[in-house]
Amino acid sequence: MAAGMGAPKLVILTLGVAEMVSSVLMLCGFATNIAAIVISIIMLGAIFMKMFKWNTGFKESDKVGWEFDFILLLVAVAIFLTGPGVIAFQSYML
């Protein structure tokens, strides 16, 4: 996968771990703003790579476009702006 993306294996592994940890933190309501920023940065990078390096359109019929990455970016920004919500684990610990 890393060779197909044109990046070192360590970079791809680090991005995968950061995305997974940030997603779990957002689901649990811990460090929600930081996790949302990390996800936003990763999604901006994914959109950039698809648009400019791989010349992928927003929605492609023969390959994956960047529409899903855009949705994830918007959700991460919305979570950053609104916070974790009232049913997050951290709400019960206060």
73 occurs within a structural domain:
yes
74, pLDDT greater than 80? yes
Name every residue whose Cβ is closer than 8 Å to that of residue 43 and which is 6 or more positions away in sequence: 69, 70, 72, 73, 76
Instruction: State residue 90's pLDDT score.
Output: 59
pLDDT band at residue 48 under the 50/70/90 scheme: very high
Instruction: State residue 93's pLDDT score.
Output: 46
78 occurs within a structural domain:
yes
Q: How many domains does the chain have?
A: 1
Q: What residue numbers bound the domain in which 78 lies?
A: 10-83
26 occurs within a structural domain:
yes
- The C-alpha atoms of residue 78 and residue 94 are separated, in whole angstroms, by 23
What would the pLDDT profile of 4-37 be if each residue is shown by its tens digit?
A: 777 789 988 999 999 999 999 988 888 889 999 9
What SS3 state is found at 87? Answer: coil
